[in-house]
Amino acid sequence: MKAHARGRLISVEGGEGAGKSSAMAAMRAAIVARGVELVQTREPGGTPVGEAIRQLLLDPAHGIVAESELLLMFAARAQLVREVIAPALQRGAWVLTDRFTDASFAYQGGGRGIDEAHIAELERWAAAIKPDLTLLLDVDVQQGHARLAGRGGDRDRIEREREDFFERVRAAYRRRAVAEPQRFRVIDASQAREAVTAAVLAVLDEALSRWT
């Protein structure tokens, strides 16, 4: 099922340090400049329950098994879809989200090795909305890692995973982009920030001209 006949759902995905924050800020400004109502959110999170689940998921003090991790991601997502995304799309607003269900296929499927059929079943049942457009910011794992190191701060529970985990996440994202070329646009996020922003805005422009 597509997002909705009226509003539009755009998701931004990528590995750690891919530059999602800058991309989201540039997209937000471009969409708002068109006079469109925009709701910006993130996953896991975006609702009071979702943000509480996020804290639980990212706290390095917890040992969370892969199955619980997946179910918690979908618990937060079910809440977000019903409280925020679906109502926004129904009133014609656009939704820009920092990650969505593709992240579960990439991290819990690719990274943790959970069978994709389980994830697809949860998607059908708990969050049956597909983004109209997904930008995948693709960057080499070591380069993304170096950017995060430059940013400083403590690493959360998932960021503490080993490099091979993030290589599997990246490969899973890339497979999804190949499988759904009409929805995905892959951005080379290894470039300088200005070049990444320009590429992101070009993709958005192309989508906007199709939709408005």
Q: Strands, E, within 2-114: which ranges?
A: 8-14, 38-42, 94-98
Helical (H) or strand (E) element with 137: strand 133-138
> Which residue, 21 or 55, has its beta carbon nearer to ligand Z5A?
21
Phi/psi at 23 (5° precision): -65, -45
Helical (H) or strand (E) element with 200: helix 193-211
> Which residue, 37 or 195, has its beta carbon nearer to ligand Z5A?
195
Nearest to 1 by CA among 79, 69, 81, 76: 81
**Could you tell me the smallest distance in angstroms from the CB atom of residue 175 to ligand Z5A?**
16
**Could you tell me the smallest distance in angstroms from the CB atom of residue 43 to ligand Z5A?**
4
> Which residue, 19 or 131, has its beta carbon nearer to ligand Z5A?
19
**Residue whose tokens read 């329950």:** 49
CA-CA distance, 103 to 101, in Å (whole number)? Answer: 5
Phi/psi at 37 (5° precision): -70, 125
**Could you tell me the smallest distance in angstroms from the CB atom of residue 22 to ligand Z5A?**
5
Q: Cα–chain-centroid distance for residue 155?
A: 19
**Could you tell me the smallest distance in angstroms from the CB atom of residue 102 to ligand Z5A?**
8
> Which residue, 147 or 183, has its beta carbon nearer to ligand Z5A?
147
**Could you tell me the smallest distance in angstroms from the CB atom of residue 56 to ligand Z5A?**
12
Within 10 Å of residue 9's Cβ, how many Cβ atoms? 24
> Which residue, 88 or 197, has its beta carbon nearer to ligand Z5A?
197
Residue numbers of the site for ligand Z5A (CB under 6 A)? Answer: 14, 16-22, 42-44, 73, 98-99, 103-104, 107-108, 147-148, 150-151, 158-159, 192-193, 196
